[in-house]
Chain A
Amino acid sequence: MTTAALSPTMISKAALFEAQAVKTSARRNRLLSLPALIIIGIFGVLPLIIICVYSFLVAAPYGGVQWQFSTDAYLNFLFQRDIFDDTLQFTPDFLIIYLRSFLFAVVTTVICLLLGFPTAYFMATRPPAQRNWWVLLITIPFWSNLLVRTLAIMFIIRDEGLINNALIGLGVIDKPITMLYTNFAIQLGLLYAFLPFMVLPLYSSLEKLDFRLIEAAYDLYATRRQVLWRVIIPLSKPGIIAGCLLVFIPALGAYVTPLILGGGIHLMIGDLIAQQFGSGRNWPLGCAQALILMAAVLVALYFYVRNTSGKVQHG
């Protein structure tokens, strides 16, 4: 009798105690994220604010900035001031580099998708043991040193590289084909660099595919092609979008690839920005160029968020 009378209070007491313990520890736990937030806040977010400020200042003659307000950096992006009559003239040099980079990034994304989707699907349909090996084999290049991987491409396509040596040895050509320091080299390098970035997100979405739906489609007399286009691809849309974004954003801002394979002749946005902080000695212009790139990335992210949230999946 006493136990029956006591137990509800005991339970509620215990529950109260537990709730309180969880509550206080929960409030204290919140503070645990502070060190990370402070470090990223000071050394990650603050620098971004600084380049916003810098983009409205005047370049100092030997690099750095002078604290004087100016919108020249943004004007210089599209116009050049005539030395003689001080008028602004439309100079699309930078704009062309931006459009070229955009084109490189789009082509990279499309080809990576065309190669990456079948690969990811093939991986997802292997038996589990084999699947692990495939994932590891794609994961390794994903995390490997990009500089070294780009170097590997350079060794192959150089004038005295493997491809040219082999072709000359076979008597197909007698003079090496120039491939290094061309647009082709950059495009190849970008594809090589970012292919794993496409395969992995595609794989993680295809892995969760409900294969009974494919069975159902075949039962309803769908052909292989129809199953692919009307069942598999629509179902893996989130993975496709994530993969495209993971390739497009770093490809648009690529720096190492054009630096090594473009040889400073064929620039992309990344090199252009770095140049302003090096030989160009125009930090405000570099900051403005960086922010324009950032704006492009934000547009891409916006489309990503809009496409992934609030969408109902139709089978």
Chain B
Amino acid sequence: MAEPRVMDIKDQPGFRTIAVICLLVLYVPVLILMIFSLNSGSLVTHWEGVTLGWYGTAFLNEEFHAAARNTLIISVTATIVSTICATLAAIGMTRVKPWRGLAAAFMVINLPLMVPEIITAVATLSFFALIAGAFGLNFGIGNLILAHTVFCIPFAYMPIRARLEDMDLTLEYAAADLYATPWNAFRRITLPLLVPGIMSGAALAFIVSFDDFTITQLVAGPGQTTLPLYIWNQIRRPMTPEINAISTILLMVSILFVSVSFLIARRRAK
């Protein structure tokens, strides 16, 4: 890179080096983990050669199938429910005259972001234990879906709300001027403009649900192993590069969804 050799007033000495170090620190360990998923030896730390065999092993593994199925059931359902709730809430909290309790409602929506995850985890566990004991209610995997929906809502809510606040209100007023019913104005004007925000919110909700470990670990009952729990169970046994392969798959899913959410947000900014 040929940069002009004049003093750039924005520069601070050494900052470039630190930035590059940060990037290396963040990526090198994960890249090493990914590279070792291709190791043909059966040790996670001794390199012997390249193979895709461990991915094959993972894909043929029944336990992995069950965990993947559980994860998808939970995160897809939680994503759909939380995105719908978050979209409605975002409209109910931006396209209104300020109402009493608006600030409190905003706090409730964002509550799962402020409470440390371990507290949410033990609180949710206590809650489900209580309703199981008092009313004999047990929703099975529904317990996990409900727990995930709660913390997915604020993540879905943020980009949707941001999009609603950026939106040009004159279009909605124009629709109302032209005698569109509120529903029609919403369906034909607001909703199409809101789609990128909803997609971005849904992608974030999916990632946080898909990756969740702490809450899932404490709330999950027998037979409700998700992919992160499956990895945790594997760590405690003698490890093979299969664990690296499964970890790599999980990382790839995160990277895919983050990039999608990011690109949608970028396009919005243009």
Contacts and interface: CB of A to CB of B under 8 A. Distances in A.
A277 interface: yes
B19 A123 contact: yes
Contacts of A116: 22
Contacts of A54: 126
Given A36-B153, A50-B127, A51-B126, A294 B116 contact: yes
B254 A214 contact: no
A242 interface: no
Contacts of A151: 33, 231, 235, 243, 247
8 contacts: A39-B81, A43-B127, A50-B127, A64-B133, A151-B247, A250-B117, A253-B117, A255-B117
Given A162-B45, A270-B118, A39 B126 contact: no
Contact of A33 (B29, B88, B146): B88
Interface string B195-229: 00000000010011001011000100000000010
B25 interface: yes
**Main SS of the interface on chain B?**
helix
A29 B95 contact: yes
Given A145-B254, A151-B243, A154-B235, 15 more contacts: A29-B95, A40-B111, A43-B147, A43-B149, A44-B111, A50-B130, A116-B22, A122-B15, A145-B250, A155-B29, A253-B116, A253-B119, A255-B121, A286-B122, A294-B119
Interface residues of B, number: 93
Interface of B: 8-16, 18-19, 21-23, 25-27, 29-30, 32-33, 36, 44-46, 81, 84-86, 88-89, 91-93, 95-97, 99, 105, 108-109, 111-112, 114-127, 129-130, 133, 146-147, 149-151, 153, 157, 173, 176-177, 182, 204, 207-208, 211, 213-214, 218, 228, 231-232, 235, 243, 247, 250-251, 254-255, 257-259, 262, 266
Please provide the 9 A-B residue pairs with the shortest distance between their CB atoms, ordered closest to farther: A253-B116, A32-B92, A33-B92, A47-B123, A47-B127, A36-B89, A152-B29, A36-B85, A122-B19
B30 to A, nearest CB: 5
A293 B117 CA distance: 11
A143 to B, nearest CB: 5
Contacts of A293: 116, 118-119
Given A33-B93, A162-B45, A143 B207 contact: yes
A146 B213 contact: yes
B89 A290 contact: no
